[in-house]
């Protein structure tokens, strides 16, 4: 079994700065940018946020297959640097287009969101695949992803708190542009950091990448453990997409305090940062699958608390956000530690390198889930009668406010609970833990 240097773990974790920033900010900022500044209807804005993620659903497996076939000894690392820089540039461009008429502004955002989504595919998929290739140890993968989860969550804290704060501090379209510059810088820092930090690390998988795209995709989707884990994680991605998009609306239109969005993110992320090592330790005792299930239940409790905040007030909202954050830490750590288990087991069983393909399918479905979240929230808000505006805060009806609250509480709670059903059919974790026990006994 391969033990990694601490510096390698930290270097790998730096990629979480890029993925955490880009994974958080569009879901948090883009819907309000479209509806409250560009006067795009809520349902259409949700569709705009959804469409590039649908594109990612198709392009991510392609990105994985291309990185699988790279002839370089460090096959994944060049993608991290090049795609990371392109991602930052495309994200920045999204906020530097026309602001009127709404159709032109919306089309500009859509085009550059598609471009950034493509660049993100070629960054994130090789990044995820790398974790299955630099260690073959079941427990080491959890430790590796723990480093990444901590940095990823810190990136969520920094970007999730700073993005709305910058928008509010500067105001108007310039606020969004200043915010975009700051977030693009963080993406570049993460991309360069993981590229530099993983230099010289040997890659342990040497299986050839043979077969066509369709053949390999069919094999990946035919794996029961991959299907069940992806299904469970996608349902939770939908949940987080709804909550990330909805928290700004709750702050502005339910409690009439835009700064509350920043406070909620701090309450959400700080417990996640502090307790990620605790989740890792729990996983050592009850397994990654068991840890994921416990984390899911904690999130459901938090979402139920968010529903009560509509009448109980913002303090209850902040407490509930903290509970969700505690569960979210485990909900991110364990699936990402289980993904390289699936990829490495598949490579050993099949003799074929499709680690990038597996990571691409995973990432594609994950991003599809994150996109479905805002789309579903937009639909719920539209049904509730939410009224779009061009910058000035428009009073929303009681029905619209309830629609916002249901979109960040009751609906996420139901979806999160439903994710436990496919997770119950995941079997690989038990087999790997049994192997570790046997190996420990032999030693």
User: pLDDT value at position 331?
Assistant: 92
Other residues' Cβ atoms within 10 Å of the Cβ of residue 97:
17
Rounded Cα distance, 380 and 185, in Å: 34
Mean pLDDT of 430-441: 74
Mean pLDDT of 1-28: 82
Q: Is the pLDDT of residue 85 over 90?
A: yes
Q: Is the pLDDT of residue 96 over 90?
A: yes
User: pLDDT value at position 23?
Assistant: 82
Residue 419: name the closest of 200, 229, 279, 165 by CA.
229
Q: 347 CB contacts (<8 Å, ≥6 apart)?
A: 132, 205, 207, 353, 354, 355
DSSP class of residue 203 equals: P
Mean pLDDT of 94-105: 90
Q: How many residues does the chain have?
A: 443
User: pLDDT value at position 443?
Assistant: 52
Q: Is the pLDDT of residue 144 over 70?
A: yes
Q: Is the pLDDT of residue 2 over 70?
A: no
Q: What average pLDDT is seen over the chain?
A: 85
Segment (H or E) for 111: helix 102-130
Q: What is the per-residue pLDDT across 378-421, written as a single tens digit (0 to 9) for each?
A: 888 888 888 776 555 667 788 888 888 899 899 999 999 999 99
Mean pLDDT of 285-307: 94
Q: Is the pLDDT of residue 311 over 60?
A: yes
Mean pLDDT of 286-304: 95
Q: Determine what percent of the chain is predicted with pLDDT higher than 90.
A: 31
- What's the CATH fold of domain 9-197+213-442? Growth Hormone; Chain: A; (1.20.1250)
User: pLDDT value at position 3?
Assistant: 64
Residue 386: name the closest of 239, 248, 235 by CA.
248
Say what the alpha-carbon torsion angle 420, 426, 428, 429 is, to the nearest 10 degrees. Answer: 20
User: pLDDT value at position 180?
Assistant: 95
Mean pLDDT of 295-309: 93
User: pLDDT value at position 256?
Assistant: 82
Q: 151 CB contacts (<8 Å, ≥6 apart)?
A: 13, 14, 16, 17, 20
Domain ranges of the chain: 9-197+213-442
Q: Is the pLDDT of residue 108 over 90?
A: yes
User: pLDDT value at position 110?
Assistant: 93
Rounded Cα distance, 341 and 137, in Å: 9
Rounded Cα distance, 57 and 365, in Å: 6
Q: Is the pLDDT of residue 78 over 70?
A: yes
């Amino acid at each position: 079994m391969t033990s990694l240097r601490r510096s390698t773990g930290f270097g790998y974790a730096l990629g979480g700065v890029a993925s955490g920033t880009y994974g958080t900010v569009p879901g948090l900022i883009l819907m309000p940018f479209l509806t409250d500044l560009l006067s795009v209807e809520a349902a259409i804005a949700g569709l705009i946020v959804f469409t590039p993620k649908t594109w990612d659903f198709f392009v991510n497996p392609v990105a994985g297959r291309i990185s699988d076939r790279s002839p370089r000894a460090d096959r994944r690392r060049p993608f991290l640097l090049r795609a990371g820089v392109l991602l930052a540039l495309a994200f920045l461009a999204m906020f530097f287009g026309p602001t009127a008429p709404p159709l032109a502004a919306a089309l500009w955002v859509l085009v550059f969101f598609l471009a950034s989504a493509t660049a993100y595919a070629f960054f994130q998929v090789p990044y995820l695949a790398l974790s299955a290739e630099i260690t073959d140890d079941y427990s080491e993968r959890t430790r590796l992803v723990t480093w990444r989860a901590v940095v990823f969550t810190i990136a969520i804290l920094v970007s999730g708190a700073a993005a709305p704060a910058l928008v509010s501090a500067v105001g108007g379209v310039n606020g969004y542009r200043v915010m975009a510059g700051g977030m693009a810088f963080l993406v570049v820092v993460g991309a360069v950091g993981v590229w530099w930090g993983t230099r010289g690390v040997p890659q342990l998988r040497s299986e050839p990448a043979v077969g066509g795209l369709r053949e390999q995709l069919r094999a990946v989707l035919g794996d029961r453990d991959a299907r069940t884990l992806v299904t469970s994680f996608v349902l939770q991605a939908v949940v987080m997409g709804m909550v990330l998009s909805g928290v700004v609306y709750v702050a502005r239109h339910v409690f009439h305090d835009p700064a509350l969005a920043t406070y909620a993110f701090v309450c959400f992320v700080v417990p996640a940062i502090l307790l990620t090592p605790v989740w890792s330790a729990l996983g050592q005792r009850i397994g990654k699958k068991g840890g994921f299930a416990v984390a899911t239940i904690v999130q459901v409790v938090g979402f139920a608390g968010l529903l009560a905040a509509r009448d109980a007030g913002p303090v209850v909202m902040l407490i509930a956000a903290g509970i969700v954050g505690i569960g979210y830490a485990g909900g991110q750590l364990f699936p990402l530690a289980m993904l390289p288990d699936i990829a490495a087991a598949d490579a050993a069983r099949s003799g074929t390198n499709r680690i990038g393909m597996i990571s691409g399918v995973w990432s594609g479905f994950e991003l599809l889930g994150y996109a479905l979240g805002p789309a579903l929230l937009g639909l719920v808000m539209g049904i509730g009668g939410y009224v779009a505006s061009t910058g000035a805060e428009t009073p929303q009806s009681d029905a619209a406010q309830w629609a916002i609250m249901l979109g960040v509480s009751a609906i996420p709670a139901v979806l999160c609970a439903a994710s436990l059903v496919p997770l119950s059919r995941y079997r690989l974790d038990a087999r790997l833990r049994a192997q570790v026990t046997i190996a420990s006994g032999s030693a």
